[in-house]
Protein backbone atom coordinates (compact mmCIF):
# COMPACT_ATOMS: atom_id res chain seq x y z
CA UNK A 1 0.00 0.00 0.00
CA UNK A 2 2.51 2.53 1.22
CA UNK A 3 5.90 2.90 -0.45
CA UNK A 4 7.47 4.20 2.76
CA UNK A 5 7.01 1.09 4.89
CA UNK A 6 9.02 -1.29 2.79
CA UNK A 7 8.19 -2.66 -0.63
CA UNK A 8 4.41 -2.61 -0.48
CA UNK A 9 4.12 -5.99 1.28
CA UNK A 10 3.33 -4.58 4.73
CA UNK A 11 -0.04 -3.03 5.32
CA UNK A 12 -0.42 -0.46 8.07
CA UNK A 13 -3.06 -1.04 10.71
CA UNK A 14 -4.91 2.07 9.61
CA UNK A 15 -5.05 0.91 5.97
CA UNK A 16 -6.05 -2.60 6.96
CA UNK A 17 -8.92 -1.38 9.15
CA UNK A 18 -10.06 1.11 6.52
CA UNK A 19 -10.06 -1.54 3.79
CA UNK A 20 -11.77 -4.09 6.05
CA UNK A 21 -14.51 -1.60 6.96
CA UNK A 22 -14.99 -0.70 3.30
CA UNK A 23 -15.14 -4.37 2.26
CA UNK A 24 -17.66 -5.29 4.97
CA UNK A 25 -19.81 -2.30 4.04
CA UNK A 26 -19.72 -3.04 0.33
CA UNK A 27 -20.44 -6.75 0.79
CA UNK A 28 -23.37 -5.98 3.12
CA UNK A 29 -24.83 -3.34 0.78
CA UNK A 30 -24.34 -5.12 -2.53
CA UNK A 31 -25.23 -8.49 -0.98
CA UNK A 32 -28.53 -7.13 0.31
CA UNK A 33 -29.23 -5.50 -3.05
CA UNK A 34 -28.43 -8.77 -4.83
CA UNK A 35 -30.70 -10.86 -2.60
CA UNK A 36 -33.54 -8.34 -2.94
CA UNK A 37 -33.03 -8.23 -6.70
CA UNK A 38 -33.20 -12.00 -7.07
CA UNK A 39 -36.28 -12.26 -4.86
CA UNK A 40 -37.89 -9.51 -6.94
CA UNK A 41 -37.37 -11.43 -10.17
CA UNK A 42 -38.18 -14.99 -9.01
CA UNK A 43 -41.82 -15.70 -9.86
CA UNK A 44 -44.23 -16.92 -7.20
CA UNK A 45 -44.48 -20.69 -7.21
CA UNK A 46 -46.66 -21.20 -4.15
CA UNK A 47 -50.13 -22.43 -5.04
CA UNK A 48 -52.86 -21.30 -2.67
CA UNK A 49 -54.20 -24.14 -0.56
CA UNK A 50 -57.51 -24.05 1.28
CA UNK A 51 -58.69 -26.09 4.22
CA UNK A 52 -62.17 -26.37 5.69
CA UNK A 53 -62.26 -24.84 9.16
CA UNK A 54 -65.11 -25.42 11.59
CA UNK A 55 -66.44 -21.99 12.55
CA UNK A 56 -69.85 -22.53 14.15
CA UNK A 57 -73.07 -24.57 13.76
CA UNK A 58 -76.60 -23.95 12.57
CA UNK A 59 -77.98 -23.87 16.16
CA UNK A 60 -75.90 -20.81 16.95
CA UNK A 61 -76.24 -19.14 13.59
CA UNK A 62 -80.00 -18.85 13.23
CA UNK A 63 -81.55 -17.28 10.08
CA UNK A 64 -80.86 -13.54 9.85
CA UNK A 65 -77.91 -13.68 12.16
CA UNK A 66 -74.23 -13.04 11.35
CA UNK A 67 -71.01 -14.06 12.98
CA UNK A 68 -67.49 -12.72 12.57
CA UNK A 69 -64.42 -14.90 12.23
CA UNK A 70 -60.69 -14.35 11.76
CA UNK A 71 -58.42 -16.53 9.64
CA UNK A 72 -54.89 -17.55 10.61
CA UNK A 73 -53.34 -14.46 8.98
CA UNK A 74 -55.65 -12.11 10.91
CA UNK A 75 -58.00 -11.23 8.08
CA UNK A 76 -61.58 -10.77 9.16
CA UNK A 77 -64.56 -12.49 7.59
CA UNK A 78 -68.28 -12.63 8.30
CA UNK A 79 -70.70 -15.57 8.16
CA UNK A 80 -74.35 -14.81 7.41
CA UNK A 81 -77.39 -17.05 7.59
CA UNK A 82 -79.78 -15.47 5.13
CA UNK A 83 -83.07 -17.44 5.17
CA UNK A 84 -81.24 -20.69 5.89
CA UNK A 85 -78.68 -20.03 3.16
CA UNK A 86 -75.24 -19.71 4.81
CA UNK A 87 -72.60 -17.59 3.10
CA UNK A 88 -69.21 -16.24 4.15
CA UNK A 89 -67.63 -13.00 2.99
CA UNK A 90 -64.52 -10.99 3.65
CA UNK A 91 -65.28 -8.03 5.92
CA UNK A 92 -63.04 -5.81 3.80
CA UNK A 93 -65.01 -3.34 1.70
CA UNK A 94 -63.96 -3.50 -1.96
CA UNK A 95 -63.85 0.29 -2.18
CA UNK A 96 -61.06 1.41 0.17
CA UNK A 97 -60.73 -1.44 2.64
CA UNK A 98 -62.88 -0.43 5.62
CA UNK A 99 -64.80 -3.11 7.53
CA UNK A 100 -68.38 -3.76 6.54
CA UNK A 101 -71.13 -4.50 9.09
CA UNK A 102 -74.14 -6.79 8.76
CA UNK A 103 -77.41 -4.91 9.28
CA UNK A 104 -79.91 -7.47 10.48
CA UNK A 105 -83.05 -5.36 9.88
CA UNK A 106 -82.21 -4.34 6.32
CA UNK A 107 -80.46 -7.63 5.47
CA UNK A 108 -77.57 -5.67 4.01
CA UNK A 109 -73.85 -5.19 4.52
CA UNK A 110 -73.03 -1.57 5.27
CA UNK A 111 -69.68 0.16 4.99
CA UNK A 112 -69.71 3.28 7.20
CA UNK A 113 -66.68 4.96 5.61
CA UNK A 114 -68.28 6.05 2.33
CA UNK A 115 -71.87 4.79 2.61
CA UNK A 116 -71.36 1.60 0.63
CA UNK A 117 -74.03 -1.13 0.62
CA UNK A 118 -73.91 -4.80 -0.34
CA UNK A 119 -76.88 -7.19 -0.38
CA UNK A 120 -77.00 -10.53 1.46
CA UNK A 121 -75.25 -12.21 -1.50
CA UNK A 122 -72.35 -9.74 -1.19
CA UNK A 123 -73.30 -7.85 -4.34
CA UNK A 124 -72.53 -4.12 -4.37
CA UNK A 125 -75.87 -2.34 -4.60
CA UNK A 126 -75.29 1.26 -3.54
CA UNK A 127 -72.46 3.71 -3.02
CA UNK A 128 -68.86 3.67 -4.24
CA UNK A 129 -67.82 -0.04 -3.97
CA UNK A 130 -66.72 -1.18 -7.46
CA UNK A 131 -67.28 -4.94 -7.08
CA UNK A 132 -68.93 -7.53 -4.79
CA UNK A 133 -67.39 -8.60 -1.48
CA UNK A 134 -64.85 -11.42 -1.67
CA UNK A 135 -66.55 -14.70 -0.84
CA UNK A 136 -65.38 -17.82 0.99
CA UNK A 137 -66.61 -21.30 0.19
CA UNK A 138 -68.96 -22.63 2.90
CA UNK A 139 -69.76 -26.28 3.61
CA UNK A 140 -72.56 -27.35 5.97
CA UNK A 141 -72.19 -30.90 7.27
CA UNK A 142 -74.28 -32.33 10.13
CA UNK A 143 -75.35 -28.80 11.16
CA UNK A 144 -71.70 -27.80 11.46
CA UNK A 145 -70.54 -24.87 9.34
CA UNK A 146 -67.10 -25.09 7.73
CA UNK A 147 -65.40 -22.20 5.89
CA UNK A 148 -62.62 -22.83 3.37
CA UNK A 149 -59.70 -20.68 4.54
CA UNK A 150 -56.31 -20.18 3.00
CA UNK A 151 -53.64 -22.43 4.51
CA UNK A 152 -50.67 -20.54 5.92
Number of chain residues interacting with another protein (CB under 8 A): 6
Report the nearest approach of another protein to the CB of residue 17 (Å): 18
Q: Does 47 interact with another protein (rule: CB under 8 A)?
A: no
Residues with Cβ within 8 Å of 51's Cβ and at least 6 positions away in sequence, in order, are: 148, 149, 151
| Residue ranges of E strands in the chain | 50-57, 66-70, 76-82, 85-90, 101-103, 108-111, 116-119, 124-126, 135-136, 138-141, 144-150
Closer CB to another protein, residue 34 or residue 84? 34
Binder of another protein out of 10, 24, 25, 36 (CB under 8 A): 36
Evaluate whether 127 touches 111 at the Cβ level (below 8 Å).
yes
Closer CB to another protein, residue 25 or residue 37? 37
The values of phi and psi at residue 27, to 5°, are -60, -45
Q: Does 4 interact with another protein (rule: CB under 8 A)?
A: no
Site string for another protein, 63-102 (x = CB under 8 A): ----------------------------------------
Considering Cα of 105, then 90, then 86, then 67, what sign does the dihedral take? negative
DSSP alpha helices (H): ranges in 5-139?
13-41
Report the nearest approach of another protein to the CB of residue 20 (Å): 18
Q: Does 41 interact with another protein (rule: CB under 8 A)?
A: yes
Report the nearest approach of another protein to the CB of residue 36 (Å): 4
Amino acid sequence: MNEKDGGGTEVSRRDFLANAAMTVGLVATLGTAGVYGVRYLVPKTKVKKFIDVLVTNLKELTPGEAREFIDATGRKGILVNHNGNVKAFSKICTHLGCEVEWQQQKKEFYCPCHEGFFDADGKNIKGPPPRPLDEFKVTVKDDNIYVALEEV
